[in-house]
A and B are shown apart, each in its own frame.
Chain A
Amino acid sequence: DIQMTQSPSSLSASVGDRVTITCRASRSIGTYLNWYQQRPGEAPKLLIYAASSLQSGVPSRFSGSGSGTDFTLTISSLQPEDFATYYCQQSYSALWTFGQGTKVETK
Chain B
Amino acid sequence: EVQLVQSGAEVKKPGESLKISCKGSGYSFTSYWIDWVRQMPGKGLEWMGSIYPGDSDTKYSPSFQGQVTISADKSITTAYLQWSSLKASDTAMYYCARQGVTGWYDDYWGQGTLVTVSS
Contact = CB atoms under 8 A, between A and B. Distances in A.
* A and B: bona fide binding partners: yes
Interface of A: 1, 32, 34, 36, 38, 43-46, 49-50, 55, 85, 87, 89, 91, 94-101
30 contacts: A1-B61, A34-B104, A34-B105, A36-B45, A38-B45, A43-B109, A43-B111, A44-B106, A45-B109, A46-B105, A46-B107, A49-B104, A49-B107, A55-B107, A87-B44, A89-B45, A89-B47, A89-B106, A91-B103, A91-B105, A95-B47, A95-B60, A95-B61, A96-B50, A96-B61, A97-B47, A97-B61, A98-B46, A98-B47, A99-B44
A1 B100 CA distance: 22
A37 B44 CA distance: 12
Interface residues of B, number: 23
B60 to A, nearest CB: 8
- A contacts with B: majority SS: loop
A97 B62 CA distance: 11
Contact of A32 (B47, B97, B104): B104
- B contacts with A: majority SS: strand
Contacts of A95: 47, 59-62
